[in-house]
Structure 1
Amino acid sequence: MLEGIVDVLTTNWDNCIERGSSDERPSAVVTSQDLSNVTPPSVLKIHGCATQPQSLLVTSNHLAAPPQWVIDETRHRLGATTVAFVGIGDIAGYVKLRIEEALHDVGVIDNIRVVSPGIVSGWASSQWAGLVPDLGAGQRIAATADDFLEQLGRAYVLGVFGDIALEFSDHPKFLAAVKNAQNSITASDALKVVVWARRAAVTPHAGVSVFDSESMTTMLCALGVLLPDGFAVEASGAVRTPEAYWQVLVSSGRTSASRMQREAQNRLSAARTEGREVPKYLVAGGIGWGLGTTLPSDILNEGRGDDVLDGPLNLMPEILRAEEVLA
C-alpha cells in the first residue's frame, strides 16, 4: 500500500491496517473532510473507525443511509479500477448492501475479482453467485488472503525487475547484474522485499514507490556487481553475505548528498548504541557528492579512526557509492 500498489477500502472498524506498518503509517479516511485533507495512500473506512466513535455506522438505519462520500468512492473504485474482494467468502448483510448498490450504479463487473479459497469449487452455492452471477471463471481466484497478497506483491517485484531488464537489454554487464540481484532478492517473500526497500529509503514518501525508483535501479545493479555470488535481504534494509554486511541506502526524491551522509551516520550511531553489528554503507543517489557538503571529522588531521574508542571519529560510516561500483 505504501508503495502505491493498491488502495484499501474496508468495512472493518479496527485500525489494524494503519498499525501494521511501524515506520510509515497510512492515514485513515473516515469522513468527507478526511477525503479532502488526507494525502493518498489512505485506508478508506467506509463504515467508520473505532478511534472515532461518532463515525461508526452501526444500526440498520446508519447502514441504509451511509455518507455520500462512501457511496461515491465505492462507485468510483468499482467503475474505474480493478477491485479485488479479499477475505469476503461469506458476505455479511451490511457488506452485501454496499456491493449491490455500487454494482447497480456502475453496471460493470469486468474489473472485479473475488478471492476466497472455495470460490471456484463452491461457486454454485456461494453468495457471490447470487450477487454477481455473470462473474467469469477467470475472475474467481481460489486462494487465501495471505497467498493472494503474496502473489500480488511478487508480481509487482518481478514486474519492476522486468522493466529494468528491458532498459538494460543492450548492456550485458548491467543486465547480468540485475539478474544476479533478482535471484537473490526474490528468494525472500514479497512482503519482506517491499519492507527491505522502504527501510533502505531515505525520507520515503507514502504512495511513491521506492522499489520502482531510479535510485533503486542503480542500487540493484550495484548489488549485482558488488555481490555476484548472491546475498540475503534483511528487513532493516541491509543485505548480508557470509563475508560482508551492507546497509543499503537509496535516495527518495530530491535528497542531498549531505542528507544521505547524515542518515548513514545516524544509523551507525544507533547500531553502536544498541550494541548491534556495524555495517558498511552502500548508497545510491543524493545530489552534491564531492562538493564539500560536510566538515571533516578531524580538521587538524591528527587522529586515526581506529585509535578512537568514542567521539566523532568513531561515528564516521564507511560509505561506498553505488555509482562508483558501476563506473
Structure 2
Amino acid sequence: MNRRPLLAAIGILALLAGAVTYVVHARNAATADASENAVPVVTGQPMRLDGRTLYFRNLAPGPDTGKLAAVPVADPATARRVGDLHCDRFAAAHGTAICLRLKPGSLPPVTDLIVLDANLRELHRDTLPGTPSRARVSPDGRFVNWTLFVTGDSYAATGFSTRTGLYEVRTGRLVKSVEELAVFVNGKRYYASDVNFWGITFAADGNRFYLTMASKGKTYLIEADLRAYRGTAIAENVECPSLSPDGRRIAYKQKVSSGIWRLAVLDLTTHRISHPPETRSIDDQPVWQNNTTLLYPIHNPDNTTDIWSTGLGTPPKLLIPKATTPSLS
C-alpha cells in the first residue's frame, strides 16, 4: 500500500482542521473583544418619568446613536434602555420634559422645541431659530426653558449670541427670549447692547430663578423674580448655573482661561466658592443628583463624551460611558 497519498490527505485534513480552529478562535476572540468594548443596550421598552431614572443622550456607536436613553439612578451600570426619541438636549422634572432637536439641513439652523408629558408624549412644539445649547425644567414641572446659539457655535466663540426662553406648560405662555428682563448691577439698572443670557435654573417655588448674563467681557450670576420680571447680579464669573435641590448652592462652570472652565460651587448664604475635586475642563450645565453629588459630561480627546459624577469632596468617577446631557426624573 502506498502511504504517501494517505499521509498527504491526512496532512491536508490537519491543515484544514487547524484553519477551521483558527477561524473559529478568531471569531470568538473578535466577539469577545466586541462584547468587552460594546455598550449594552435594550430597545423596544417604554420610558416614563418615574422619579427614579437617569436620562441621557446615547452616544454609543450604532443605529441608536443620538436617541434618548435611560438607566436606573440606583444602578447606572445596568444595560441602557433606548427609546425612539431623538434629542440634542433633554431635561425633565416632575412629569414634564423638554427635547431640543436641530432640524437637519436647516440653514440658518432652526431647532424644534418639544414639550413632553410623563409618558414622553408630545404636548407642544415650537420651531425657533438657533442651535440647541441648554435645556432645563423647573422642579415643579411648570416651566421648561432653553438656550439656543443664534450666532457662533460655542461659548468659546468670539461674538456668539444666544436666545434664552421660557414656556409655561399649563397656560401655553411662550417667552421666546428673556432679553427684556430688567437687570440691576451694583444697585443700578443695567443697559448694554451686547447682553446675552443663558443657562436658567429654577428654584422649587417656580418663581425664583438664576441665569448667566454676559456683557462687556464679564459674566454675572443673576438672581431673578419671574413675577416681578427683574433680576440682580449677585456674583461674577459664573456660567451655566445649577441650583441644588435644597436651594442652598449654585454649581456652575468658572472660567479659567479661553475655552477652559472649572467646576465650582457657590454657597448662596456665605457667598463662599469651593471647587469639587474635578480638575478637567467642564463645558456644560452641571446636574445635581442630590445635595452633595454633581453629574456632568466630559468631552474626551478622542472626540467621545462620558457622564461623570463627583461629590463636593469626593473624587470623580465615570458614571455612564458614551453619553451626554444627563437629566434625573
TM-score range, shorter chain: under 0.3
How high is the TM-score relative to the length of structure 1? Answer: 0.24
Higher helix residue share = 1
How high is the TM-score relative to the length of structure 2? Answer: 0.24
